[in-house]
Amino acid sequence: MKISGNSFCPCGSQKKYKNCCRKFHFGEEPQNALELMKSRYSAFASTVSEYIMKTTHRENPDFTHDTQSWKKSIHDFFDHSEFRKLEILDFIDGEDLAYVTFKANIFQGAIDVSFIEKSKFLKVNNLWLYHSGEFIE
């Protein structure tokens, strides 16, 4: 779903999207892994697949140079999912390795497909990238 600049940012900051994650979606670089995590969630919620692809580490299993099919699979997920809320549970910062544990509240129709994930982020050439994640029961 597309969101307007005046809507609340999907990341849960209570700020308007135009004053929050949108700047990252349009080229500004997150200063830490937590900002990256939140802006990636917002990108999922507001259908900015380019940003998801750009901030994924090449070692991630989803990474492919076939951006057309990757984009399609991201959109398939977007189109059937409603991103209701992001809750940050833990943030372990580091020089070039960081972890964020979060709960993503996501519904597909009436079905709750929410999950808790511990995500690993790596800093490569001064840019934070999403490396991988493990689900936490």
Stretch that binds Zn ion, among 5-13, 66-74, 80-88, 103-111 (CB under 5 A): 5-13
3 belongs to the binding site for Zn ion (CB under 5 A): no
Pick from 2, 6, 8, 11 the residue near Zn ion by CB under 5 A: 11
- Provide the minimum distance between the beta carbon of 10 and Zn ion in the complex, in angstroms, as a whole number: 7
- Establish if 9 lies at the interface with Zn ion (CB under 5 A): yes
| Residues 36-65 interacting with Zn ion (rule: CB under 5 A) | 42
3-state secondary structure the chain: CCCCCCCECCCCCCCEHHHCCHHHHCCCCCCCHHHHHHHHHHHHHCCCHHHHHHCECCCCCCCCCCHHHHHHHHHHHHHCCEEEEEEEEEEECCCCEEEEEEEEEEEECCEECCEEEEEEEEEECCEEEEEEEEECC
Chain residues that interact with Zn ion, rule: CB under 5 A:
9, 11, 13, 20-21, 42
